[in-house]
Structure formats: C-alpha cells, structure tokens
Amino acid sequence: MEVLVTALICFPFLWAILPAVIHNSKRRAFAVYLGCTIVTILSVATALKWYLAGGQALDFRLPYQHLFGEIFMWGDIFLMFFITYLSYKHKRLIISVLTIVSTVVPTVLEKFGPKLGLAPTMRFDWLTLIMVLIIGVVGSLIGIYAVGYMHGFHIHHHKEVKDRRSFFLSMIFVFFGAMFGLVTSANLLGLYFFWEVTSVTSFLLIGYTRTDEAINNSFKALWMNLLGGCGLTVAISVGIIYFHTANLYDMISAAELNPNDMLCLLPISMLAFAALTKSAQFPFSGWLLGAMVAPTPSSALLHSATMVKAGVYMLIRISTAMADNYVGNMVALIGGFTFFAASCFAITVSDGKKVLAYSTISNLGLIVACTGCGYEETIWAAVFLVIFHAVSKSMLFQCVGAIETTIGSRDVEEMQGLMSIFPKLAFILMVGIAGMFLAPFGMLISKWAALKAFIDTSSVYVSTLMVLFICFGSATTMFYWTKWMSKILGASKREKSRDLTKKNEYISMFFHAFMMIALILGFPWLSENVLKPLSDEMFGDVKQVISYENMVIMIVLLCGVFIIPFVNYILTKGQKVKQVITYMGGVNAGDNFNFISSTGDPKELEISNFYMEELLGEKKLFTPAILISSFIIIVYLIIVVGGALQ
C-alpha cells in the first residue's frame, strides 16, 4: 500500500511536466489521455488492493518520509514566495501577510518547536477509498473532457485569449497529486502543503484568461482560501505546543475523550473554520461564484466535483469530535443557512453556470450541516451526498460548457426546446438535473436521512432551525431545477444546427450519466459494503440507515423513470402523428409561436421563467447573508477560543 499511495501522489506531479512542455496539440492530447488513464488505473488499483486486503484502517509512513518532509517544507516556502511576489505585483499586500503568517509559524515550530514522535503520517480507510475514487475516476474524465473543450475554447470561441492550454492541462495533473496527498495525509504539516497547492492551483486557473475580472476573482479566491490556511496553522500550532503532535487523528481522539475541554476543541474549531472556507460556505461563498469566470473544465474539476470536496472531507473526518458541542453547532448552522440561502439565490439567476455555482454552494451546505450534527445518519447522508454530487455536478458543468459552445449561450432561457434540437446534450442535462432533486436519485434520499437525524439532534434550537432550513431549502431547490427542466422539454423556435461538441467531451459526459444510473442500481451494494463499514469504523457497529426494502423500491422507481419512456419510444417509433397546435389565448397563426389576439393584433408567444430577483436577488439579500453567517462564526469561535484561554 505504501508504494501505491506514494505512486498515486507523485505520478500526477511528475506527469504534469509533459503537457507543460509539449506544444503540439495531438501529442499533448495523447499525453493527457494517457496520463488520465494511468491516474484512473492507479486510483482503482489502490482502492481495490486495500479493499481486498480486508478494508481495515491502515496507518503508515511513506518510504523516505524524511525526504518527503523536507520537500513539503520547502514546497510551503516556495509557495509563500510565489504568492508574495504575485501579491506585490498586483498590490494585494494583505494576501502576502496571510501567506507569510500561515507558512512561517508551522515551519518554525517544525524546526525549532517540541520534538514530535514518529507517528504515522498517512492513513487509508473507507473515507480515503471514496475520495481516491472520486478524484481518480471523476477527475480523470474531466481531464479528458478538457482536451476537446480547451481546443474549441481557443480555436473557435475565444481567439482573443492567449492560448495557454499546456499550462492549463498541466495544472490539472498538479491538482490530482495535491488532492491525493490531501486525502491520504494523517500529518497536518503534510496536509497543509497539499491544502495550499489546491488553493494556488485554483487561483491560477481562475485567472487563466488574465482579464481584469478573472484576476480580481482569482485573488478573491486566494485570500479566502489563505484565511482557511491560517486556521490550519493555528490547529497545527496548538497541536504541537500543547499536545506535542501534528497528527490529525490524535487531535480528533483528544476532542472525543474530552468533549467539554475547550483547549481540545480549539484545533477542531480551527480545522472546521478552514474547511468552511474551502467548501465555499457563507460568508466565504463569493470566491466560488467568482471562480465561474474560469474555463468550464476548471469549474467542473476544482469548483464542484473535487477541490471544494476537500473542505467537506475535512469536516467528515472531524465530525465525531463535533457532535453536540459548540463547534458542531457552528458548522451545522452555517451549513443549514448556506443550503437555504444559496438555493434562494439560485432561483434569481438565469446564467446556467451561475445556477450550478449556487446549487453547488447549497448542496455543499447540506453536506456541511450533516457533518456538524455528527450522527451516524447524518454522516451516512453526507458521504452519499459527496459521491452523488461529485458525479452529478461534474456532468452538469461539462454539459453546460458543451451547450455554450454549441448554441453560443449558457443562459437557461436560451435552452428552450433543447431536447428537440440537440437530444444528446439534453439527455445528459436531464439526467444530471434529475439526479439533483428527483426520487430515486441520491440527493433526495440523503435529504430524508439528514432530516431524520436533525429531528433527533439533542440541541432543540439547532434541531428546529435545521429542519426549517432543509424543508424550505429543498422547496426552493425543486423550484429552480424544475424551471430549467421545463425549458429543456418545451417547444423551440431555434433551427437545428451542427452539434459542436467533441467526441472526447461526449465520452466523458456519457460515462458520467452511466455512473449516475449505476450508483442507484448499485445502491444496495454500495450502502452495505461501503457506507455501512465507514459508519462502523467511525461510530462502532451501527444499523443500516435505509432498509433493504426501501432500496428495492428505489431501484423499481429508477426502472420506471428510464424504462417506461424508452418502451414508449420503441412502441411509437415510426408511427404517424398529427401535430396539434397549442392554444395561446387567441387565433392560431399556423404554428406554436404566433397567434392573433382578441384585438386582432398579431402576437408572438414569449415563454419566460419567473426569477423573483426583486424579492430574493443578490443585491437585496447577499450582504445580509454574509453578515448573518459571519456573526454565527464569530460568536462560536469567541466561545471556543475564550474557553481555551481561561
């Protein structure tokens, strides 16, 4: 396992050199395809070897651990100087202060602080297994998609943007390596290095086009993520000074054994704070919204499917140390509030990519809320949400990018009748949307499990608020997804044209759709053989959250969702049909888009969704949402820090 995990981390960093130095498009594409294939094989092989070996949590040290420790330390220092240089160049001095503080303090403690024992630096367990497969499989598919998308991005649509595809594709592999290192690290000093690499990678890709908007948004993402890095620094410092350890699991155990000791809760609260920034929860959601200026593969990979999962991964890790205490209450309230607020904002926008951004923030909020409660049901729901959300959102972002390339717009209103014009794109989009809010797909099931757990929460006011958040948040979620779905299925004025989506883009998207359906069909096996062992590992022997009978009902529902329309299509294929003109409140003018009104005037039918921008729009409620969430975090952190200082 040690060798496989080392290869899993090191290979993407080394392979990133190839697309960076190869400038011939075909050769570079081959290098990316081959690299993504190897990453997938490595991740699946690592997961399988651990699973077949018995599936027991494995703690170990990397070969040549001392050398890796030096690489991590000097890597931190290099990133500090790199960020400081860019901050000085663009006159963002506060960012240089954040990176210097968050790098110098742990480095000094590591070199001159208390000597630490030879604790394990890596861990592979059930949660690691899930994350490795998400990064390796979903991430690699996005890498394959990126080759075709970035070709069209520069050659056909954005000729004014300097072609830096070699850099873009190279950064994707750097990101793979950083995420693999992050989810396998047990030592916070190593984890901090990988955490910062993901932040810098995100910063570079958001600013890819080098427009003023892209540069401003990239720096917004950087300072918010560096703020989280400062939280990690405090956790590391407290661990080394007071507990003489930098091991994440030692800190979790200390908080579990001493749930009322604020000093033990202090590093947990700082880790939770860092995770809230990375997972783009309010008041830190602005960076993910700004990240949507990046090319679509970046949005799919970093800002929906994997990087933001680093935050919720950390919260799932520490969830047992947050159950029924101040830190857990803070995390649950921030997550629940974000779930509700972001879903409200999603109603008010018609930009497809922005709808997906708000939906991502909202769904991450639900996952965060589940981790804050820290019960078996909520962690089961959180992990299943992570799996389902990664596949669904990756597919949706890719599909919206392909639609924008083909029709020249990503506005939901411009997707009217997409099913009749570009049925393949519409099918993929429909599967993704259905996966986000319809039964029997996983998001709805996870909400049910979370709702049950919230009702059982010991804190009455937290329980009440969480139930309200999930009920109203789910209602608003259904509203914006239903609006989008109705647009796709409506009649279209647009004439049929050539689909500009590349074959490699379709390969990735259809494989995502296949995985989405397979997740439901294989849900009984997944729940019994992956999610239950994970719950047992974290909480001891626990009962199955959803009964076998309910799982069978889910599969029957899924068959109904897909088989009935397919059978209907087969039975009616080739039959002659009589088209019936829609009644539009006047005399039909021969088609479904024009009619004569009661005054005798010719009218053109216009169909538009209701966005309620004046009631729920960003200009009205975004600032209050920032203030409310900031207040919650500040109050709870004051309680924990103040208690630790007593």
DSSP designation for 541: S
Q: Which residues pair with 187 in a beta bridge?
A: 247
Rounded to an integer, what distance in angstroms lies between the CA atom of residue 313 and that of residue 541? 22
Please enumerate in sequence order all residues whose Cβ is within 8 A of that of 556, keeping only pairs 6 or more positions apart, or say none.
none
3-state SS of the chain: helix, strand, coil percent to 5? 75, 5, 20
pLDDT of residue 584: 66
Q: Which of 152-156, 381-385, 428-432, 448-452 has the lowest mean pLDDT?
A: 448-452
Measured distance CA(419)–CA(490) in Å, rounded: 8
Task: Give every CB contact of residue 395 below 8 A, 6+ residues apart in sequence.
Answer: 428, 431, 432, 509, 512, 513, 516
In this model, does residue 169 exceed pLDDT 90? yes
Please state, rounded to an integer, the average pLDDT across all residues of the chain: 86
User: Look-up: residue for tokens 């500090």?
Assistant: 80
Going by pLDDT thresholds of 50, 70 and 90, the confidence category of residue 47 is: very high
Are 310 and 182 contacting, i.e. CB atoms less than 8 angstroms apart? Answer: yes
3-class SS at 604?
A: strand
Give the pLDDT confidence score for residue 475 in this predicted structure: 85
In this model, does residue 626 exceed pLDDT 90? yes
Phi and psi torsions of 60, nearest 5°: -160, 170
DSSP annotation string for 227-289: HHHHHHHHHHHHHHHHHS--BHHHHHHHHHH-TT-HHHHHHHHHHHHHHHHHTT-TTSTHHHH
Q: Is 637 left (phi over 0), alpha (psi -120 to 50) or beta?
A: alpha
187 secondary structure, DSSP code: B
How does strand 122-124 pair with strand 58-60?
antiparallel
- The two beta strands, 122-124 and 602-604, are unpaired
Least confident stretch, 154-168, 206-220, 525-539, 548-562: 548-562
270 contacts 231 by C-beta, under 8 angstroms: yes
| Cβ-based neighbours of 70, under 8 Å, separated by 6 or more | none
DSSP-H helix ranges across 153-210 = 165-184, 188-206
323, 375 in Cβ contact below 8 A? yes
Q: Is 534 exposed, middle or buried (0-12, 13-18, 19+ CB in 10 A)?
A: buried
Cα 637 from Cα 628, distance rounded (Å):
14
pLDDT tops 90 at residue 488: no
Query: Cα–Cα distance between 278 and 622 in angstroms, integer?
Result: 19
Highest average pLDDT, of 324-338, 477-491, 506-520, comes from 324-338
pLDDT computed for residue 83 by the predictor: 93
Q: How confident is the model at residue 585 (pLDDT cuts 50, 70, 90)?
A: low
Question: Which has the closest alpha carbon to 146: 28, 43, 17?
Answer: 28
Place of tokens 């880790």: 271
Q: What is the pLDDT of residue 558?
A: 63
Residue type at 338 in one-letter notation: T
Helix (H) or strand (E) holding 378: helix 376-407
638 falls in which pLDDT band (50, 70, 90)?
very high
pLDDT in tens, 58-85: 998 888 888 888 899 999 999 999 999 9
Mean pLDDT to the nearest integer, 558-565: 68
Residue with token string 């009205």: 620
Q: Give the pLDDT score at 81.
A: 94
Tell me the average pLDDT across 612-620: 81
Which tokens hold the place of 599?
């005054």
- Are the C-beta atoms of 631 and 640 separated by less than 8 Å? no
Q: Tell me the torsion sign for CA atoms 383, 388, 389, 390.
A: positive
Do residues 122 and 10 lie in contact, with contact meaning Cβ atoms separated by under 8 Å?
A: no
3-state SS class at 439: coil
Rounded CA-CA distance 225/200 in Å is 9
Q: In 3D, which of 88, 288, 97, 279 has the Cα closest to residue 205?
A: 288
Pairing of strands 594-596, 587-588: antiparallel
Grade residue 152 by pLDDT with cuts at 50, 70 and 90.
Answer: confident
> b/e map of 393-431 (b: 16 or more CB within 10 Å)?
bbbbbbbbbbbbbbbeebbbbbbbbbbebbeebbbbbbb
Highest mean pLDDT among 206-210, 430-434, 581-585: 206-210
Average pLDDT for 408-415: 86
pTM for this one?
Answer: 0.92
Highest mean pLDDT among 65-74, 172-181, 527-536, 611-620: 172-181
pLDDT value of position 500: 80
Highest mean pLDDT among 114-123, 397-406, 535-544: 397-406
Q: Which two tokens stand for residue 556?
A: 């029957």
Query: Taking 90 as the threshold, does the pLDDT of residue 577 lie above it?
Result: no
Instruction: Using the predicted structure, report yes or no on whether residue 580 has a pLDDT greater than 80.
Output: no
Task: Quickly state the pLDDT bin for 543 (edges 50, 70, 90).
Answer: low
Please check whether residue 249 is in contact with residue 184, taking contact to mean a CB–CB distance below 8 angstroms: no
Quickly state the pLDDT bin for 618 (edges 50, 70, 90): confident
CB 34 within 8 A of CB 18: no
pLDDT at 546: 63
How do residues 220-253 score in pLDDT, each as one tens digit? 999 999 999 999 999 999 999 998 899 999 999 9
Predicted confidence band at 44 (pLDDT cuts at 50, 70, 90)? very high
254-287: pLDDT as tens digits = 998 888 889 999 999 999 999 999 999 999 998 8
Give Dmax over CA atoms of the chain in angstroms.
89
pLDDT exceeds 70 at position 56? yes
Q: How far apart are CA 264 and CA 257, in angstroms?
A: 9
